Structure 1
Amino acid sequence: MALFQQANGSPLPSHGMNEALRTPVHEATVWQPSSAMSSFSTTEAVETLIESVLSQKSSRKRKRPTRSVTEELEDILPSSPIPTPTPSRRHRFDYSPSPSPLPSPSTASEESSYEKETCKKSDVLLLPVKASTFNRALRVMSGLPVASRAARQAERREKPRERPPVWAESRQELCEALPYYRSFQSGLYMHSKVTFGYLLEAFPAPRDAWASNGRVIISHGGGQCICPKLPNGKQGPPVLQADQSRSDARVDALLTAAERRTPIVLIAGEGYKELPWNLDCAYVVLGWYWISYTWVEAEPAYKGTKPPSGRDYFHRIKIRFDWVGSQGDPWWDSEIPVSPLPVNQLSSTPRRPCRISSSKEAAEMIATFDGFTCPTCDSQSPRIYIEGPICVHPSCPAFFLLLTPLGLLPIPPTFTLTLCPSFLLPQKTPEGVNRLPYEVGPPGPVEDWPEADEGGLGGAGEKTLWRGWVCSECGRANCRYRWEVWECQACGNSTAQLNASHQVPLCRLTDLRDTFLGDAAMRHSTGLSASLTVSRELGAVVAIYELPEAGKIYHIMPFDKEYATELFYEYQREATSKPWFQRRSLKSTTVKGSLLAQHFAFNSGVPYKYIVDTLSTPFDESPACVTKAVERITSSVATVLGEEYQFNEILSVCYREGQKMGYHDDGEPGLGPVVASLSLGSSAIMSFRPKPGEKQRGNTDVALNITLSHGDFMIMEGHEIQRKYHHRVVPQGFRIAATARRISEPPAKPDIQVKAGVDAEDTGEVEYDDVVESCLGPDLSRPVLDPSRYSSKELPQLPPLRSISDHTLLPRRTPIQHPYPYQPP
């Protein structure tokens, strides 16, 4: 919306410095010049003052004595008061970025038809001066303080003596270890419209602040932002492309938290520029905060964005967070470690923070600040900015206009607003907010796990067993990357070791059910055909699905599954005896830090160009259950296909509850035409879908779904299946799968190629295929080392581990007791 309006009430166009501003306001309300200025028109005053500022700069260059701009202004303005005349027109001010001629006709032709209809040359004052010069003159005219750079932001402090209660090196560690923050891509974590965690990271907004040594934090609502491309091709800072409003669920959750005084855990990332010290890790948990005030600012519309009709700015929601006093002093500002509050153990689902008792109290302004009454809308607003009172109510005609001795003035985009020191003073924590629902450091894993998945307490296959944990020794938030134990990747501390008694009985798997011929579902429009046969030799029903011009899928459903049950228990015993099964590192451009796969894997035989960073163990060194699985798969394939097929590699994968493998193909170079697998434990739905064409956007529909039950075999025959189709496996519970392949030309060393990105649903599912391979780099962290395969002289030297507690380097445990993925600092 234009800054000023014409005499007929229609707004003037947006141009130059006014691109960011204004709602139309009534002249009688807004234009209230001081008595000293009343004998001059605004145009004359600005022209004269600008000449004074420019002459002052010129005199400074010639080293001649100069007078202050204020003194020049006193000579310009009459000293005797003159009655204030009734204005007949409001003028808007424009400037050029540097002394230059007036805009050319080509520039003027870019104005919209709306601007052409409402603009007259007499309505606009074009000032061929720099924006900084005009802003300085405007400050002098309005009696405003000289703009100062925020020294508060530039000030750097010494690193805290105390380590944070919780810290992490990746986004995944936060999401898996902390129940109050499980958002892989959003800065806000909410559940059922309740805000639990808020991340301070990159993507700042104007006037974000770290005040009172972190006891007051000014931030903003999320969403509606883009990062435009700069002329040099680089990505620019985030700008709004639409209003932030309550219609956005994230903004609504924050505003609701302010109304209800819901305490929120704040997390800071190393990209948070307001932090007065440099982090030695990727993320730290700051502590509990409450929202004491929210308001709306007018943010200029960036070139290429389209603001709402009638104005040239967007609404930006600003949030003020205050430290919850019952925690004591913040850990970074205290000589004594913060004492944890006694709470019950956290479940895998965060609890709702307690609400305040009075809804009337929630509707009132949460904190009392030095404020003023807007002369236009008679509403109360706090004094937020040093430059003067500004109404922050969007419904007010004078919204975000600066109240000065000259009256209400628009704020140019380059005009610096500074937060008022009194507004940044800490507020007293309300009594209801002091009752915090839980600690920021969740309790560690329980030593004695029940044998089955009952009541959400966690059996050997339940999701609570593969979620992350916070190390009690160093505070590091860790992902559960080893099957048999929780181990800290920073200090090596381990807990809750599983043993042979921690097994999931087959009878306790609630999703263990019989299917009718695999419960297959086909999309006939894709040209699939199916047939059934009974193999007396195998004692099984075999369903055959032919994919047009690709190959065949064989689903073998044996009648006798005793051998499968024995393998199921033997795999579990071996998994707890040594660190065979681990979650390996992927790489994603959409998630900060390392990203572990959503399954525990162990590869045997020749090296395999797998999607994750893994090593292979020879068959003669692998557990007996692996060789037994290879023998069973080889026998079944020979019976069904009618020819011997020798596999030289097998990948064993354990899925706990909630884990899965996204769409992918097995089309790695050197792979044979036959891929076969054995399913153990809970059933799983295996899906096939055609790969999208080169010009096709989005994913194709699923062509075939089959349900793999306990003891079932699956065979894919044909190279073209991997070239033309993707497949995925979604277990319905605790499941173990063994997939055998024939690799003709194994590489000399693992050539890891990442083909992964984070699922759009932020569930942590990883999808990988040849289509997105070019989007991500091929470099991964170095492979996990197996000390049994190296002599002491050959063992590569890794960089020392970093400690955040004392900001020094810790010696790595020698010798390496267990292989585990290590991400260098």
Structure 2
Amino acid sequence: MPPRAAISRRKVAERPVRAGRVTKSKKEQTIIKLSPEKLEAALIGQPLEQVYGTPPAWAEGRQQLCDAIPWFRCTQGAMYHSEGFCYGFLIDADCGTRTHIDDEVIITRIGGCCTKDSEGNLTLEKNQDSDNALVQSITGTQTSKLAVGLVIGSKNKILNRDLPHRYNIMDWFRVTNVWFEKIGHKHGVKVRFEKLNLPEKSWWAAKESPLPLPLEERDLQTKPEVLKCHHCSTESVKIYREGWMCLDPGCIDFWKIDGITPPAELTFHPDFLNFRSPPDPAVQPCYSLVPDLLSTLDETATDVSTSRIAWKGIVCPMCFKCIRRTFWKGWKCDDDSILEEEYRERCPFQKFMNMHPVPLRVVLDHFELAPIKRAILFDRKYSIPEIDDNSLFPYRKLTYNLNGVGSITHFVSNRMINSRKNGPDDLFINLQRDDLGLKRFRLQQSLVAGTLTSHFAVNYGMPYKYVVSVDSKGFDEAPKDILRALGRLSWATEKAVMSPGDKYLPPNELLMLGYFEEMKIGYHDDGESSLGPSIATFSLGAKATMFVRMKYKYFNGSTRRADPKAIGTILQNDPVLKDCMFEGERRALKKNFDAGEISQGEYDASRRALSKGRKGKEAPITIKMELHHGDLVVMHGENLQKYYEHSVVPENKLRFALTARFVKPDHVDAREIKKGEFSLTPDQVYDGK
């Protein structure tokens, strides 16, 4: 079968390397450690070999790969293992010493227990033992005859082929051998993978290489020599040409040839490289190499489009790229490229689901959708609010006061409020019907480049940047239901702010977030200098739990050690908040320092002494609130966002959160100010009923 066409990224020719480690300099240039006999060949500067075909699926980003390929959900590391089995393996930059890659066999280390040395090389930090989770997974896979999917990355220098993409799906492989080796001063695990489909020529084979031999013409009987150790009676395969070694790390003869430490440069024995396993129908993969998610989604089902599986990635049926679901309604191939500008061709594939509105009965477990009056049991492990059942009836008003910091007001809804015309019940359905333009965005800061938010977002009114940059639409583009929600948020903000007598700043921005099953937003704050002191949120759909806690640095009195902006990790200005770590001692020290009784140096030294030998920890949860359909929450006080952070964890069902803020006009481009202007019709103005 001729290789099919695919959108390809060409790379600059690189020098061939058959073994060694990849290391990075401070300038992120690739440097290869070569043995002397290979150095001369490497300096010739031969171009990379062209590959025979194209991968069955590919990705330019790690997140795209993991989202679309179920057998490789590993955003970091090389080996994806789960529940005692290895399902997928990545062959990329640093495969370690004594690595081999050809058209049918791959020999590499399993990773884990490693750190990077000063040159950027991965080195074993501790021994890999048989009770290690990765070791157990790879041996469990071998014993269970489970096939492993392999992916090769373009940073791999051992194959010496011009790989078309950053991550390229290879094929299914069987695990034929797992053994221990001496790696530096530690012992680690190596594995030999053998391609399952031997008769078919590998797409990563050299373009002009001959076709593989048919199975009937292969020697499938000859195996590498196996000898028994006379010390421990363990049988070990003869792996290296230089001699046989016991491969049991518990044996006194481990990693020795005739009692002598082997040379640093070892070559694989031809019998070990060249043997091939006879066909075994029991060796099968758990998944398809390239899954077809779309064929399994029934678009006529009410809630399938918002289920957990529906926001995973797919493999584009046109160009075979792994793409994530960035849009509320589905997938668009050319919208999820890491390096879009490098492609001359843009794939036109897109798939948008028939998004049938999910009824409240699907997401709410309450017998009557909402109670007449919601009963709330307050756990004394957390802050207890002031309860007001009268002033804003039919709402229950719960106020959490954080002295000197701010307040959080929870307006608890009920059946009377939710069921009224244009109320929360109607809004939940109508917002699903409206074309809002909800989308997932890339996080500005994340451990893995290109990570998307675990929610969909759209912004109306003044531009607002939270953990991502979201394009803002003017309120003149907003559907009437968005403005109805804005009316409720404006009412709640005014009632929460006017109670303590503060100035009310009407919201001029609204951010709407949509959550599918198993989506959530982690701890964060809304403390941007461009924002006013009040933030109001309106909950629709499934229940969610909101957690509020003190920020790490204010709880511990010091920043995380990984923070490059830290000055000795001790806070320069320590507010000493209530219930922070060492509150009494820190408060006394601050009092002495403010009174001039101790110097800055003495103050800092005393605070360091408090935490000496103690590892910092996250603050305990201060406030825990259950947010139900129709509830409103207003956080008020600039210091609240400065000193505290919050997270929201919805139930595994559809939920919307609409949050309104006041964005200071002097922080916005003059051309954007008009977006925040709006006027509500009488039926959009809310009166609390």
Q: For the Cα contact (< 8 Å) 1:538–1:558, is it kept in 2? A: no
Q: Structure 1 pair 217/742, CA: closer, same or farther in 2 (3 Å)?
A: same
Q: Structure 1 pair 716/254, CA: closer, same or farther in 2 (3 Å)?
A: same
Q: Structure 1 pair 410/335, CA: closer, same or farther in 2 (3 Å)?
A: closer
Q: For the Cα contact (< 8 Å) 1:608–1:746, is it kept in 2? A: no
Counterpart of 1:564?
424
After superposition, what is the alpha-carbon deviation per residue over 1:684-709, rounded to whole angstroms, capped at 9, x for unaligned?
00000011234272311111110110
Counterpart of 1:725?
644
Q: Equivalent of 2:513, from 653, 657, 663? A: 653
Q: Structure 1 pair 334/210, CA: closer, same or farther in 2 (3 Å)?
A: closer
Q: For the Cα contact (< 8 Å) 2:330–2:351, is it kept in 1? A: yes
2:352 is paired with a residue whose SS is coil
Q: Equivalent of 2:158, from 264, 267, 274? A: 274
Counterpart of 2:492?
636
1:687 is paired with a residue whose SS is strand
Q: Provide the TM-score with structure 2 as the length reference.
A: 0.73
Cα drift, residue 416 of structure 1: 1.3
After superposition, what is the alpha-carbon deviation per residue over 1:427-455, rounded to whole angstroms, capped at 9, x for unaligned?
124413454444211104246424434xx
The equivalences for 1:306-455 within 5 A come to: 314-325=186-197, 328-333=200-205, 368-372=223-227, 374=229, 379-403=234-258, 408-411=259-262, 415-446=264-295, 448-453=298-303
May I ask how many residue pairs the two structures share in their alignment?
Answer: 540
The equivalences for 1:515-664 within 5 A come to: 516-518=374-376, 520-523=378-381, 528-535=383-390, 537=392, 539-559=394-414, 560-562=417-419, 563-574=423-434, 577=435, 580-588=437-445, 590-591=447-448, 593-642=449-498, 645-664=505-524
Counterpart of 2:175?
291
* Matched residue type, 1:384: I
2:289 is paired with a residue whose SS is coil
After superposition, what is the alpha-carbon deviation per residue over 1:487-540, rounded to whole angstroms, capped at 9, x for unaligned?
1126444454234x611111111545658455554535xxx4521112555521
Counterpart of 1:710?
629
Q: For the Cα contact (< 8 Å) 1:672–1:741, is it kept in 2? A: yes
Q: Equivalent of 1:738, from 637, 658, 668? A: 658
Q: Which runs of 5+ in 2 are unaligned?
A: 1-34, 209-220, 338-345, 560-615, 671-689
1:461 maps to 2:318: no
Report the Cα distance in structure 2 between the residues aligned to 1:638 and 1:373, rounded to whole angstroms.
82
1:595 is paired with a residue whose SS is coil
Report the Cα distance in structure 2 between the residues aligned to 1:675 and 1:588, rounded to whole angstroms.
23
Q: For the Cα contact (< 8 Å) 2:542–2:628, is it kept in 1? A: yes
1:700 maps to 2:625: no
Q: For the Cα contact (< 8 Å) 1:203–1:238, is it kept in 2? A: yes
The equivalences for 1:647-796 within 5 A come to: 647-692=507-552, 693=554, 694-695=557-558, 697-732=616-651, 733-745=653-665, 747-748=667-668
Q: Equivalent of 2:138, from 229, 254, 260? A: 254
Report the Cα distance in structure 2 between the residues aligned to 1:612 and 1:190, rounded to whole angstroms.
31
Q: For the Cα contact (< 8 Å) 2:493–2:506, is it kept in 1? A: no
Q: Equivalent of 2:363, from 497, 502, 509? A: 509
The equivalences for 1:93-112 within 5 A come to: none
Q: Structure 1 pair 542/594, CA: closer, same or farther in 2 (3 Å)?
A: same
Report the Cα distance in structure 2 between the residues aligned to 1:148 and 1:262, rounded to whole angstroms.
37
2:169 is paired with a residue whose SS is strand
Q: Equivalent of 2:331, from 481, 486, 498? A: 486
The equivalences for 1:161-172 within 5 A come to: 161-172=52-63
Report the Cα distance in structure 2 between the residues aligned to 1:681 and 1:535, rounded to whole angstroms.
26
The equivalences for 1:490-501 within 5 A come to: 491-499=346-354
Report the Cα distance in structure 1 between the residues aligned to 2:308 and 2:635, rounded to whole angstroms.
30
Cα drift, residue 287 of structure 1: 1.1
Q: Provide the TM-score with structure 1 as the length reference.
A: 0.61
Cα drift, residue 461 of structure 1: 2.2
Cα drift, residue 225 of structure 1: 1.1
Report the Cα distance in structure 2 between the residues aligned to 1:648 and 1:612, rounded to whole angstroms.
19
Q: Structure 1 pair 285/637, CA: closer, same or farther in 2 (3 Å)?
A: same
Q: For the Cα contact (< 8 Å) 2:225–2:237, is it kept in 1? A: yes
After superposition, what is the alpha-carbon deviation per residue over 1:343-392, rounded to whole angstroms, capped at 9, x for unaligned?
xxxxxxxxxxxxxxxxxxxxxxx992134455555654333222222232
* Matched residue type, 1:282: R
After superposition, what is the alpha-carbon deviation per residue over 1:604-625, rounded to whole angstroms, capped at 9, x for unaligned?
1111122112211111022222
* Matched residue type, 2:139: L
* Matched residue type, 1:590: L
After superposition, what is the alpha-carbon deviation per residue over 1:273-313, rounded to whole angstroms, capped at 9, x for unaligned?
22322434321111100111111111222xxxxxxxxxxxx
Q: For the Cα contact (< 8 Å) 2:543–2:655, is it kept in 1? A: yes
Q: Structure 1 pair 533/623, CA: closer, same or farther in 2 (3 Å)?
A: same
Cα drift, residue 260 of structure 1: 2.4
1:159 maps to 2:50: yes
Q: Structure 1 pair 260/640, CA: closer, same or farther in 2 (3 Å)?
A: closer
Deviates more, 1:562-571 or 1:503-512: 503-512
Q: Equivalent of 1:474, from 295, 319, 343? A: 319
Q: Equivalent of 1:242, from 120, 126, 131? A: 126
* Matched residue type, 1:410: T
Q: For the Cα contact (< 8 Å) 1:683–1:731, is it kept in 2? A: yes
Report the Cα distance in structure 1 between the residues aligned to 2:381 and 2:646, rounded to whole angstroms.
15
The equivalences for 1:168-207 within 5 A come to: 168-207=59-98
Report the Cα distance in structure 1 between the residues aligned to 2:476 and 2:642, rounded to whole angstroms.
33
1:320 is paired with a residue whose SS is strand
Cα drift, residue 181 of structure 1: 1.3
After superposition, what is the alpha-carbon deviation per residue over 1:205-229, rounded to whole angstroms, capped at 9, x for unaligned?
2101113x2x10001122111113x
After superposition, what is the alpha-carbon deviation per residue over 1:542-572, rounded to whole angstroms, capped at 9, x for unaligned?
1111113211111101331030111111211
Cα drift, residue 485 of structure 1: 2.2
1:368 is paired with a residue whose SS is coil
Instruction: Please identify the structure whose Cα radius of gyration is greater.
Output: 1
After superposition, what is the alpha-carbon deviation per residue over 1:776-816, rounded to whole angstroms, capped at 9, x for unaligned?
xxxxxxxxxxxxxxxxxxxxxxxxxxxxxxxxxxxxxxxxx
Report the Cα distance in structure 1 between the residues aligned to 2:648 and 2:641, rounded to whole angstroms.
15
Report the Cα distance in structure 1 between the residues aligned to 2:222 and 2:299, rounded to whole angstroms.
47
Q: Structure 1 pair 152/669, CA: closer, same or farther in 2 (3 Å)?
A: same
Q: Structure 1 pair 271/519, CA: closer, same or farther in 2 (3 Å)?
A: farther
Cα drift, residue 582 of structure 1: 0.5
Q: Structure 1 pair 737/595, CA: closer, same or farther in 2 (3 Å)?
A: same
Q: For the Cα contact (< 8 Å) 2:494–2:506, is it kept in 1? A: no
* Matched residue type, 1:737: A
Report the Cα distance in structure 2 between the residues aligned to 1:249 and 1:469, rounded to whole angstroms.
29
Cα drift, residue 151 of structure 1: 7.4
Q: Structure 1 pair 734/684, CA: closer, same or farther in 2 (3 Å)?
A: same
Q: For the Cα contact (< 8 Å) 1:325–1:434, is it kept in 2? A: no
User: Identity over aligned residues, as a percent?
Assistant: 29
The equivalences for 1:46-195 within 5 A come to: 157-195=48-86
